[in-house]
């Protein structure tokens, strides 16, 4: 009797959204400042706001406005979410090379998933606007999972598609993404164009930091061998 060939264990490339796939920091900062001004707070520097993208909204507000009350934070979150989607089309463009990278990964037979601090509604809006629905087998968001850097969303992705942590990589632009990946037992990969500097990502455990998403492609076979 001839033995059947062993079934290849699938692999997955998990991607952050804001700062990794889409250039949304400017839009986020502008709407964030609009929201906090309604409660009498002074606008904050956009680069300071960009540093906390990826955290839960309440955690971000506690870091940026430590004097704010829980009621104030709830009101800011409500105003922000209502305003963010207004005239949002075209405000969060894809970074160069994103679609080419997604096509390449899918062409190699690997799964793609998204793990983002955005709300479910916000993530689905980005996916619909850019026609990315056919790429991602699953999308996990910070409003339905414990937010970054907790690894819950990564564990849910692995369980859902039946992939062990050693067959997954997490790609993101913040130290929160790197910490989340390490906590989940998978390899963290940083991108060098987002909110946190390459040196910070390396210090947080990034195995590799790429200057463009397409530059990750030559490393996939080493990171996730067939």
Q: Which of 3, 18, 23, 134 is catalytic?
A: 18
Using only C-alpha atoms, what is the Rg of the chain? 18
Q: Which of 16, 23, 92, 173 is catalytic?
A: 16
Which residues, including other chains, have CB under 8 Å from residue 173's CB and lie 6 or more apart? 16, 19, 20, 190, 191, 193, 194, 195, 196, 201
Q: Catalytic annotation on 16?
A: yes
Q: Are 181 and 201 in contact (CB under 8 A)?
A: no
Q: Catalytic annotation on 71?
A: no
Q: SS3 of 112, please?
A: strand
Instruction: Return d(Cα 180, Cα 163) in angstroms, integer.
Output: 17
Q: Are 213 and 190 in contact (CB under 8 A)?
A: no
Residues designated catalytic: 16, 18
């Amino acid at each position: 009797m001839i033995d059947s060939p062993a079934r290849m264990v699938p692999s997955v490339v998990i991607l952050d959204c804001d700062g990794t796939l889409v250039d949304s920091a400017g839009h986020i900062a502008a709407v964030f400042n609009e929201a906090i001004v309604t409660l009498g707070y002074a606008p904050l520097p956009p680069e300071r706001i960009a540093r906390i993208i990826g955290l839960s909204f309440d955690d971000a507000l506690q870091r940026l406005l430590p004097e704010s009350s829980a009621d104030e934070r709830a009101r800011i979150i409500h105003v922000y979410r209502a305003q963010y989607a207004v005239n949002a089309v075209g405000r969060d463009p894809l970074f160069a090379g994103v679609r080419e990278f997604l096509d390449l990964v899918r062409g190699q037979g690997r799964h793609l998933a998204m793990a983002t601090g955005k709300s479910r509604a916000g993530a689905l809006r980005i996916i619909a606007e850019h026609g990315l629905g056919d790429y991602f087998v699953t999308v996990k968001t910070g409003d339905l999972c414990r937010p970054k850097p907790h690894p819950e969303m990564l564990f849910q992705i692995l369980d859902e598609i039946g992939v062990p942590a050693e067959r997954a990589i997490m790609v993101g632009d913040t130290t929160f993404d790197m910490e989340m990946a390490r906590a989940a037992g998978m390899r963290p990969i940083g991108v060098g164009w987002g909110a946190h500097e390459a040196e910070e990502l390396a210090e947080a455990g990034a195995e590799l930091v790429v200057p463009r998403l397409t530059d990750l492609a030559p490393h996939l076979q080493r990171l996730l061998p067939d």
